[in-house]
Amino acid sequence: MTLNNFADAYGNPVGVIVKSDSHIRYWAQIYNGNETVLPVEPQEYAFGRYVRVEYPNTAQRRQLIGIIYDSMLLNPSFGSLGPRLASDDSQRAIFSPDYLSERAVLIGIIAIGSMEYLANGEPSPDSIGKEQGAPSFAAELGAKVFPLTESEIYAFHFYGESSEAAPALHIAYISQLLSAPFGLLPQAALRILDQLEPMFPNYQRHLKIIRRNILWKQSIEPAR
């Protein structure tokens, strides 16, 4: 099994990396109906979702972990105001199919770490394969983007510091979301708390405090 089809074997990709702004900020293009058998549902690339991006050329079963923090609609004929043959998409499929294929949905992904997977496709359970914060390796163009499953999200966040230490919740990348100069990141941080809170009932009070801290900085402090 090559690494490429390893990734494919565990879930359906939603798109591919098409551009990057920095080591941690990427743009991925969502597959349209022509590229996949099953159409990609909007909730699969919703704002604040965890995704993994395959590292095609590394020898390890390591995946970049990221969060969708932005989206963009691409329309190459934006601004072409001349008359068209077709007025809706069913007609356009016949008269100008190229126009449809050039339209795209892009999603912004911020890299928040990386995680190693076991041979059976399960995420590694201990701290060794986990990296939170800026990942060591950048993603590559054309790399496939997959939504993270609940058990993957759990594994990425809950592990022991060492083999002796009791497993605990880790969200070390959250300050990265809060301190980056991009306006939507704190909102994304709130969204990930929405996902983590039901997953970690023992940490609800802790997460509430973190949420309160973000909310205060987001809503009250600017108003003061």
Interface residues with another protein (CB under 8 A) are 132-133, 168-175, 203, 205-206, 208-210, 212-213, 216
CB of 175 to another protein, least distance (A): 6
Number of residues written out for the chain: 224
In terms of Cα–Cα distance, which of 147, 158, 142 is closest to 196?
A: 158
Cα(109)–Cα(42) distance, integer angstroms: 15
- Closer of 67 and 174 to another protein (Cβ): 174
DSSP SS3 for 187: helix
CB of 195 to another protein, least distance (A): 15
CB of 200 to another protein, least distance (A): 10
CB of 83 to another protein, least distance (A): 57
Which tokens is 56 given?
Answer: 């095609």
69 close to 110: Cβ distance less than 8 angstroms: yes
- Closer of 143 and 171 to another protein (Cβ): 171
CB of 66 to another protein, least distance (A): 17
DSSP SS3 for 201: helix
Residues 6+ apart with CB under 8 A from 214: 178, 186, 189, 190, 193
- Closer of 75 and 175 to another protein (Cβ): 175
